[in-house]
Amino acid sequence: MKKIDYKNLKRFDMKEPPRRVKWFLKPIIKLLVRPAIKKYKPIIHKDIPENLKAPFILLCNHNAFLDFKIATTLLDKNPANYIVAIDGFIGREWLLRDVGCICKRKFTNDIRLVRQIKNCLDMGNVVVIYPEARYSLCGTTAVLPESLGKLLKLYKVPVVSLISHGHHINSPFWDTSHERSVDHTEEEYRLLFSEEELINLSIDEINERIVDRFQYDDFKWQKDNDIKISDKNRALGLHRVLYQCPSCMKEYKMTSFGSKLKCECCGKEWEMTELGELKALDGDTIFSHIPDWYEWQRENIKKEIENGTYSSGILNVKVDSLPNAKKFIHLGNGTLIHDMNGFKVQGIDPNGEPFEMIKEVSSMYSCHIEYQYLFKHGDCIDLNTLDDTWYIYPEGNNFSVTKMAIATEELYYKHLEKIGKKRKKGLA
């Protein structure tokens, strides 16, 4: 087998200037997004000045690929640049660059992105940012970076928000194998800040307004609007998010099939109704609202962290590397541990050389995970440096990447507490 010099592989060029959308791609983009608009019949609540034109910044919540199609439609003739994760460029870097995309490695502090955004605004474009930096795990707001307010104040251009409802229940992140066919979605497209407001407001005031605007709950929206999902496999994959049984407290024994959620340890079962609620088939339901179950798991993790006992244990893993947009490279097999100190990944590559990545608690306010990624190895955690991304696939079934993602956030909050920094609502 030919040896690969991993350390000297060409890296994705993050400094290449952003491009305007090529003229010949504009009609193709419209054709590609039009079927989604026709299918989902979005109800759009628009509250922006009639004369608002690029440049401005658009902040969107993030639940499904449909987010991009809705944003593209609403921006209409305004030229736009989208911030996209590195894996979105695989095998199509030229295309994504030509439609104006800017590459970002998730949950890294990269000053190059600050410059790239300025370049786009200077070209007279809209910059589209998904500040949650990942699809929502259960249709509710993910943590937002505290640096966002400072970033917006720096550019001094209007900021518009797009909060979408229904995208998660139609294509939940925990199972993207098929859509659930909602009869419509709902979008709130509103001016968040004028240029004058950004100049006059403090960074804290800016952040508070962003957090308030980004409050959403797709399952509550579903019930409030009487949106029925009759899909027979509507609960398929839900166990990936709801990994702990509230009846027997056992972790990693939940499973899902059809419209059912079941604990393989105690045998308790729940039915996911057509309105997205959970109903126990026997005994107390405990949690009928899916986000309540998710947040209950968070509280249990917080207790482990307070007691200093949180640990994933040592997990055997497979590790793939994505240094550029050409393809994944199998870095090797190794071990992963996520504990009170953060992430530690170690292994041996096919050349017999050791590899290691350590991400201390203070370096990450959140992390990105995938479920059944590319239908390949299974659930994974991806950890990033400024010039590489590792996709780490634990083996066996005694783990939950959801738990690791929640724990990453709670460990970071504990770190803030230790250094005497006050935690702010919805921010990290």
Amino acid found at 160: V
Neighbour count for residue 111 (Cβ, 10 Å): 8
Position 30 scores a pLDDT of 85
Q: Which residue has the tokens 């990105």?
A: 368
Domain boundaries along the sequence of the chain: 6-224, 238-306, 315-418
pLDDT tens by residue, 315-348: 999 999 999 999 999 999 999 999 999 999 999 9
**What's the pLDDT at 3?**
67
pLDDT of 1: 47
The reported pLDDT for the residue numbered 28 is: 87
Residue-wise pLDDT for 130-157, tens only, equals 999 999 999 999 999 999 999 999 999 9
CATH 2.30.29 fits 315-418, yes or no: yes
Sign of CA dihedral 380, 383, 384, 389: negative
Q: Rounded CA gap, 121 and 59, in Å?
A: 14
Single out the residue of 370, 397, 395 nearest to residue 381, CA to CA.
370
What is the CATH number assigned to the segment(s) 6-224?
3.40.1130
Predicted pLDDT of residue 376: 61
pLDDT given for residue 210 in this prediction: 97
Low-confidence ranges of the chain (pLDDT < 70): 1-3, 375-376
Cβ atoms < 10 Å from Cβ of 23: 7
Residue type (1 letter), 155: Y
Burial of 335 (0-12, 13-18, 19+ CB in 10 A): middle
> Are 6-224 and 315-418 in the same CATH fold?
no
